[in-house]
Amino acid sequence: MKGSKLLEQYEQFNYVVEQMLINAQNENWDLLLSWQAKYLQLSKGIMLVDDFSKIENMPLQHQDIIRMYIKNILSYQQQLTQLMITRHSQLRELIGKHADYQTKIGSYQKIACLM
């Protein structure tokens, strides 16, 4: 029965990470953050399974499904990380432009005051 519980945990974790990726792709940041608590809970639960013999003693079909979930989870996490890096770079660029505009406006205001 513990094996099916572990399989269920991987299934849930796969779903949560997939939803986080979808929300990031849709730039739905609030919903993305709402999944964080469940993500942490499931990842801690899975990390507590330090005895891989539990997986090895599962039926081969379950082992294959867990391997598929692990591949999916890693892929989703990689895509999520890359997306966050891209968004961070875009935001940094926008902030830089905004700061540059603010500096120019400040300079124009100083010049206007002198006239």
**Contacts of residue 9, Cβ cutoff 8 Å, sequence gap at least 6:** 42, 45, 46
| pLDDT confidence band for 1 (50 / 70 / 90) | very low
Is it the case that residue 37 has pLDDT exceeding 90? yes
Compare 2 and 86 and report the one with higher pLDDT. Answer: 86
Report the pLDDT value the prediction gives residue 73, as an integer from 0 to 100.
Answer: 95
SS3 content of the chain, % helix, strand, coil (to 5): 90, 0, 10
CA quadruple 107, 110, 114, 115: dihedral sign: positive
| Total tally of structural domains belonging to the chain | 1
| CATH code (residue 28) | 1.20.58.380
Compare 45 and 49 and report the one with higher pLDDT. Answer: 45
Is it the case that residue 3 has pLDDT exceeding 70? no
**Averaged pLDDT, 7-25:** 95
Domain that includes residue 40, residue range: 2-114
Does this model's pTM top 0.85? no
Compare 81 and 4 and report the one with higher pLDDT. Answer: 81
